[in-house]
Amino acid sequence: MTSTPYLQDLASLLSRSLARLPRPFRDREIRYLEASQTPTGGFAGPRGEPDLYYTSFALRAAAMLDLADRGFWERSAAFLRTAAPVPADPADVLSLLVASGLLAARGVLLWSESVAAERLADCRAVLERFRASPAGFAKTPAGAPSLYHTFLAALACELLAEPRPDPGETVRLVLSRRSPAGGFADTPDAESPGTNPTAAGVALLRTLRALDPATAEPAAAFLLGEQRPDGGFAAHPGAPVSDLLSTFTALVALADVRALRRARLADVGRFVRKLALSSGGFAPVLAGGSSDVEYLFYGLGSLALLASELPPDPGLG
């Protein structure tokens, strides 16, 4: 396993690299983020109501940008204390744990010690409800193991200092989802491998120290094949367009397999810059769509990964 938690490694890389980008650009994105905070302190997605998932993404973006306003963090904590329900699934569990850790790093405690014990017990109970086998976790309590949800649950277990899914069984689960094309499918009945499950599979194998060249190289080839002429990456071979979420996860996975420089990075940069909005935030696809704090995180993360390999882009700002 990695010596530090996977998300901590990733967050450190993103923060260091993003700091290389022009200050005016980063200040614009901070203003966008601050303006996106609702009066309750939370953050909303397309449905318009603030929730745990989007608030956690906002805090991850704020940490990447090194947002210093303590009031921002305290208002976010106030929302999470009063409005966040018991986590509904592994994604919510991870969102809550990540948010709590980011707040604590800035001296803002989300809960008292007694309440924290209750919330962590809730998180463990939710994970157990979604455990589909010794190897993995499902999208629904009665479903088959999902690579993506197993990845989320493994990250949550890491933050909870809980035993992960059985390592040997998890490796076998991941490898059972590998396609002849080198990518990974999320579930047994998935029609094709996809960018996001491939990234999840690669990350799981990496954290379990089971990512060998015989798996990493075909996975890299699959991901590189999902880069479209516009520079972005598509969610799967049949996807009609590339998108920002898939672009970010592809870049993360390519970094995990040490193949990031094999992508057309200058083209990726042009794609992401086209998605950057003049008022802050990022569109999900070139055709447009609503910006939100989740896509802000993906846009910033993509630019940060590019900045880790390329000179800073003077066109930003």
Q: What is the pLDDT of residues 111-141, one digit of tens each?
A: 999 999 999 999 999 999 999 988 899 999 9
Q: Which residues of 136-159 are buried (b: 16+ CB within 10 A; e: fewer)?
A: bbbbeeeeebbbbbbbbbbbbbbb
Asked whether residue 123 is domain-assigned, the answer is yes
pLDDT band at 86 (very low <50, low <70, confident <90, very high): confident
pLDDT tier for residue 232 given thresholds of 50, 70 and 90: very high
Ranges 48-62, 152-166, 234-248: which has the least confidence: 152-166
15 exposure class (CB count in 10 Å sphere: 0-12, 13-18, 19+)? middle
C-alpha to C-alpha distance for 33 and 187, rounded to whole angstroms: 35
Give residue for tokens 């999208």.
139
Q: Cα(127)–Cα(256) distance, rounded to whole angstroms? A: 26
Residue 189 burial (CB count, 10 A): 7
* Residue 211 within a domain: yes
Alpha helices by DSSP H, listed for 209-316, are 213-225, 244-256, 265-275, 293-307
Specify if 161 maps to a domain.
Answer: yes
Does residue 58 register a pLDDT over 90? yes
Within 10 angstroms of residue 48's Cβ, the number of other Cβ atoms is 7
Q: How far is CA 303 from CA 2, 251, 268, 299, 311, in A?
A: 24, 10, 9, 6, 11
For residue 81, the enclosing domain spans 6-307
Of 165, 40, 37, the residue nearest 90 (C-alpha) = 165
Give me 308's structure tokens.
């880790």
Residue 314 within a domain: no
pLDDT band at 47 (very low <50, low <70, confident <90, very high): confident
The per-residue pLDDT for range 170-228, each reduced to its tens digit, is 999 999 999 999 999 999 888 899 999 999 999 999 999 999 999 999 999 999 999 99
* Number of domains making up the chain: 1
Residue with tokens 């933050």: 159
Identify whether 273 is part of a domain: yes
Instruction: Map tokens 């194998």 to a residue.
Output: 205
**Tell me, what CATH number does 52's domain have?**
1.50.10.20
Q: What is the CA radius of gyration of the chain?
A: 19
Query: Percent of the chain beyond pLDDT 90?
Result: 85
Q: Phi first, then psi: what are they for 282, rounded to 5°? A: -140, 140
Q: Is residue 154 part of a domain?
A: yes
Per-residue pLDDT for 233 more than 70?
yes
Give the position of tokens 């009945």: 189
Q: What is the residue type of 22?
A: P
Closest listed residue to residue 145, CA positions, set 197, 97, 94, 219: 197
Note the pTM of the prediction, 2 decimals: 0.95
Residue 285 lies in a domain: yes
276 falls within a domain? yes
Q: What angle do CA 296, 25, 21 make, to 5 degrees?
A: 95
**pLDDT score of 1:** 38
How far apart CA 114 and CA 119 sit, in angstroms, is: 9
